Structure 1
Amino acid sequence: MMDLGTYGNSTPMARKIASGYDVPEGVDIRGRYDEEFAKILTKDALQFVAVLQREFRSHIKYAVECRREAKTRYNEGAVPGFDPATRNIREGEWKCAAVPPSVADRRVEITGPVERKMIINALNSGAKVFMADCEDALSPSWENLMRGQVNLKDAVDGSITFHDRARNRVYKLNDEIAKLFVRPRGWHLPEAHIFIDGEPATGCLVDFGLYFYHNHAAFRRSQGAGFGPFFYLPKMEHSREAKIWNSVFERAEKVAGIERGSIRATVLIETLPAVFQMDEILYELRDHSVGLNCGRWDYIFSYVKTFQAHPDRLLPDRVQVGMTQHFMRSYSDLLIRTCHRRGVHAMGGMAAQIPIRDDPAANEAALDLVKKDKLREVKAGHDGTWAAHPGLIPACMEVFTNNMGSAPNQIQTMKREDSATLTEEDLLQRPRGLRTMDGLRLNTRVGIQYLAAWLTGSGSVPLYNLMEDAATAEISRVQNWQWLKYGVELNGDGLGVKVTKELFGRVVEEEMARIEREVGKDKFQKGMYKEACKIFTRQCTAPILDDFLTLDAYNHIVIYHPKGSSSL
């Protein structure tokens, strides 16, 4: 058991409050009481989260303020670039700590929310790693997050099961399972159901803190060498944010009494500013890093957001912004070269396709696209890739194994070219393609349906044979906003019409009618489609672009319960 009495600003003495949870001084839980949740929200676990919150909240606030200042610069005409002040880090010959043997082979990883059945199926999927997601694939309701912590604890100790009563089937773990990584929320998201010293806790510190506190000892026992837990870190824009995470890891290791460097993390490079900070991010996390990942959907979203005030950088339809675009291919290549130079994994992007069970020909065509994408990744030098559905694991595994053989990764075997040949211009090149009415309609239809599902608790949603999450919904939102702001002419349909609020209003009305036809009138009326339409339309037509769709929508899923209440 961790000894937390000497850390933080609060006394270790606990007090019982009317919510039913046993909490340390300064902590207030406003979410529903549940006996299962209480096993996670123990006094000592909450004290650990409070220690992290009190020590790092000022650093987090500063990092978020730096993001705002950078946005102002970009809105005034500046563009991201390499920092001259950290040139010595980029040109130095340092390396990260050696990759732990237990996670040396990550050739296929599956991702999904921390739902009980999903966790079991993903760990049993045949993938090398399962990234359990508290971020883009999860609607961050109190129920989802706390139930997710319960599920993760059961998964780590091997006791997790799930009884599907509809199918009368019990799911449990196989003897051989994937390695477990966890992705907490980004720095910008609060946890409004837990207050520490009168303000909402930082969401990622809640996610990390509760998971680490309850599970670090199990990793130490199972891994032998003392490595783990393992994490994915999202939404960074600058190495100062990696430095905060490194300090959080060091503090956690110290409090738990485990070796420095036991915690390992992969950083998602999914913002445009971060692509110019990859060496610096790895340097800050060099004792705790196991690589970087191409979070390509969020990266596209970030491209639009970063250049929201640059009318010369309008994106074509989102389906045309793939890895063959020069700026996307350059981003992938630089990530591979940077990671291999520093001795860590360079992970590829998401295959978002899902099996099309009622159309074999369409399913085969979709699978062929997946194989081609994965072949491009492994030949470029990626050490592994992502899939959103267990049905894609065999195809992805076959492509990587055929090209990597028995080697666990390509860190040492892939010939490394000089990353200096990739310039700022390569990484910022304007994307090419057409903007069409079909693209505007698809953005609208997907954005509304995803948000409707998110508001009712589902953060990972199958739509039109793709698995959509918050990142793809964000592309839909910001692209609509960009086209509206600049009155884009739709040039792919031979129509030559400009995107105006009037046109967009008609598109929204027509796509809502289509959604109702597709999902059925009864489901449409009972769902949150109308509320989602209001939120999505408001964000698409706002004079100032909101930083995140989910940050605004989060207020709609925060539910405070009267103290002592345990009702749903």
Structure 2
Amino acid sequence: MPASVVHRDPGTVLDRRSAASLATKHGRDGGDMADVRVDGPAVERGEEILTPGALAFVADLQTRFGAHRDALLAARATRRAEIATARRIDVRPETEAVRTGGWQVPPPPPGLVDRRVEITGPTEPKMAVNALNCGANVWLADLEDANTPHWRNVVGGQVVLRDAVRRTLAFTAPDGREYRLREDGELPTIVPRPRGWHLPERHLLVDGAPAVGALVDAGLYLFHNAREQLDRGSGPYLYLPKLEGALEARLWALVFDHAEQVLGLPAGSIRATMLIETIPAAFEMEEMLHELGSHATALNAGRWDYLFSIIKVFRDAGPEFVLPDRAAVTMTAPMMRAYTEQLVAVCHRRGALAIGGMAAAIPSRRDAGANARALAQVREDKTREVGDGFDGSWVAHPDLVPVCREAFDAVLGGRPHQLDRLRDDVSVTPEQLLDVAGVPGERTMAGLRANVEVAIRYLAAWLAGNGAVGIHGLMEDAATAEISRSQVWQWVHAAVELDTGETVTAELVRRVIDEEVAAIGRLDHVDQARALFEQVALAEDFPDFLTLPAYGLVE
């Protein structure tokens, strides 16, 4: 007999026959049906998402691909050790045929042909309505870095996505103000970003073990929305974060192939954009596009996660890999220019779109001077990106959409992209990608304090359930906390000397923490945030992701 699919909520037990019939329909023997248990609190309208069919579909993905994912996570550690020993990365000689071949990815699908302005944000109802009404081409619906994985956010985010796809999303604020989708004009194409491969979902158990968070997020979205999106002339599209190489892209391709077969979707209809936000991935861009194959559409260039990855991978490789203040490492630094120009060249050579990084500024509607400075900075950033050949870029606030659009319109005009600009002039070496020593800037006490203060403020908000946080005029997400705490860890272990003449030690960091927490004052979850920051910034062994211990503190 197949096992029941049950909730912890004693009032909800899902029909085992429904789950078994789905398994049989999908070619599985109902007798070996996985046991699926929802071990989380009830969520409003959760029954619309956690249906027997949807849970059986996610369980099927977990059963088929969970062990594969586990093996890839183990391979990450082996790869990191190899790189640390060699103190360099290079392209893989065994994939030379991929890099020299004449292949291309399929053309952009409907809704992703013109991506000049993409707005990012969490799947919170009010912010989702604002994002969909802002005039952007794409809404990156973030289930990852801008989202605390509280169970209410995980399930509630899927409710928002379901409504957004069907154009029924609405929200009434406590003050009575109503937020509804506009009825005039086209809305942005919806592209969710599931969690990275490393994160579990402990509230959904398959055969007694937590499911892979990425499979939960992507699986629930595809089950409920893939066919609907195709019927509406768009398609089931995703952003894929935190990938570290081609084998991880291949796993996503296998998941998508299987999902298309199970859900009766046309082959190649699930399309994805991969974020190149780790240093190993920067050396496998072409291989990743090749492995994702018919599902590949674009690559995206990040900043904070990319720098975080450089620190993580080369954390014990010597002083030449110690970064200056994170604020000093701009996208115009030589190694960052090498990274972004390489990405554009690879994408256009292979027929994929190149999407630029985040403009995190929050425009001020009260301070005209601050607003003018923020808009000028964003305009300069987006002008540089489109000049380099990018086909689109990200913003974090609706008020930045016109600024980004203006910069891209000035170059693209009526064209949807600039795939015809091949950037044959670009020739990037491994040494250029790894030229950390060539990044201008100092290591300062102000930089140390900023890392401590911003990370603790962000973590306090994250623990409260808010993954997208405005701090000092910038919209921050988990990537900010990662680069902040990893830089502190690196400076401690490298015994960095600051501009004040002080050496960064654990004792100095704790003193700074005391002072910054006192300056912050009363803030919900600040004590938990402080303890978490100390745990991940001052540990003897580097924690790979702060969100893993942080996840143990929510709910």
TM-score, normalised relative to structure 2: 0.94
Residue in structure 1 matched with residue 336 of structure 2 by the alignment? 328
**Stretch moving more, 35-44 or 544-553:** 35-44
Residue in structure 2 matched with residue 422 of structure 1 by the alignment? 428
Distance 2:476 2:75 in 1: 30
Distance 1:228 1:486, change over 3 A: same
Q: Structure 1 vs Structure 2: percent identity of aligned residues?
A: 46
What SS is found at the alignment partner of 2:265?
A: coil
Residue in structure 2 matched with residue 530 of structure 1 by the alignment? 527
Distance 2:516 2:226 in 1: 48
Residue in structure 2 matched with residue 287 of structure 1 by the alignment? 294
Residues 468-547 of structure 1 aligned to structure 2 (within 5 Å): 468-491=476-499, 495-516=500-521, 521=522, 524=523, 527-547=524-544
Residue in structure 2 matched with residue 551 of structure 1 by the alignment? 548
What SS is found at the alignment partner of 1:112?
A: strand
Distance 2:139 2:50 in 1: 25
**Contact 2:506–2:538 (CA under 8 A) maintained in structure 1:** yes
Residue in structure 1 matched with residue 60 of structure 2 by the alignment? 51
Residue in structure 2 matched with residue 39 of structure 1 by the alignment? 48
Distance 2:93 2:377 in 1: 40
Paired letter, 1:452: A
What SS is found at the alignment partner of 1:76?
A: helix
What SS is found at the alignment partner of 2:192?
A: strand
What SS is found at the alignment partner of 1:130?
A: strand
Distance 1:21 1:322, change over 3 A: farther
| RMSD (Å), alpha carbons | 1.4
Distance 2:212 2:237 in 1: 20
Residue in structure 2 matched with residue 251 of structure 1 by the alignment? 258
Residue in structure 2 matched with residue 297 of structure 1 by the alignment? 304
The answer on 1:162 being equivalent to 2:138 is no
Q: Please list every run of 5 or more consecutive structure 1 residues that lacks an aligned counterpart in the other structure.
A: 1-9, 560-568
Distance 1:462 1:17 in 2: 35
**Stretch moving more, 92-101 or 229-238:** 92-101
Distance 1:45 1:213 in 2: 6
Distance 2:166 2:366 in 1: 38
Residue in structure 2 matched with residue 359 of structure 1 by the alignment? 367
Distance 2:409 2:236 in 1: 26
**Stretch moving more, 267-276 or 354-363:** 354-363
C-alpha deviation, 1:74, in angstroms: 2.9
Distance 1:471 1:77 in 2: 27
**Contact 2:249–2:288 (CA under 8 A) maintained in structure 1:** yes
**Stretch moving more, 440-449 or 174-183:** 174-183
Residue in structure 2 matched with residue 273 of structure 1 by the alignment? 280
Paired letter, 2:430: E
TM-score, normalised relative to structure 1: 0.91
Paired letter, 2:470: P
What SS is found at the alignment partner of 2:355?
A: strand
Distance 1:295 1:279 in 2: 17
**Stretch moving more, 124-133 or 429-438:** 429-438
Q: Please list every run of 5 or more consecutive structure 2 residues that lacks an aligned counterpart in the other structure.
A: 20-33
Distance 1:18 1:326, change over 3 A: closer
C-alpha deviation, 1:415, in angstroms: 4.3
Distance 1:17 1:422, change over 3 A: closer
Report the number of matched residues: 532
Residues 58-457 of structure 1 aligned to structure 2 (within 5 Å): 58-175=67-184, 176-223=186-233, 228-312=235-319, 313-412=321-420, 414-419=421-426, 421-430=427-436, 431-457=439-465
Distance 1:502 1:122 in 2: 44
Distance 1:286 1:18 in 2: 40
Paired letter, 2:221: Y
C-alpha deviation, 1:263, in angstroms: 0.6
Paired letter, 1:199: A
**Contact 2:138–2:191 (CA under 8 A) maintained in structure 1:** yes
C-alpha deviation, 1:500, in angstroms: 1.4
What SS is found at the alignment partner of 1:193?
A: strand
Distance 1:174 1:457 in 2: 31
Residue in structure 2 matched with residue 4 of structure 1 by the alignment? none
**Stretch moving more, 495-504 or 136-145:** 495-504
Residue in structure 1 matched with residue 27 of structure 2 by the alignment? none
Deviation by residue 1:228-255 (Cα, 9 ceiling, x = unmatched): 2110000000100000000100001001
Deviation by residue 1:300-338 (Cα, 9 ceiling, x = unmatched): 111111111123210000111011111100000000000
What SS is found at the alignment partner of 2:54?
A: helix
Paired letter, 2:136: A
C-alpha deviation, 1:351, in angstroms: 0.3
Paired letter, 2:395: A
Paired letter, 2:335: F
Distance 2:118 2:451 in 1: 28
Distance 1:513 1:371 in 2: 36
C-alpha deviation, 1:101, in angstroms: 3.7
Distance 1:469 1:46 in 2: 29
C-alpha deviation, 1:432, in angstroms: 2.7
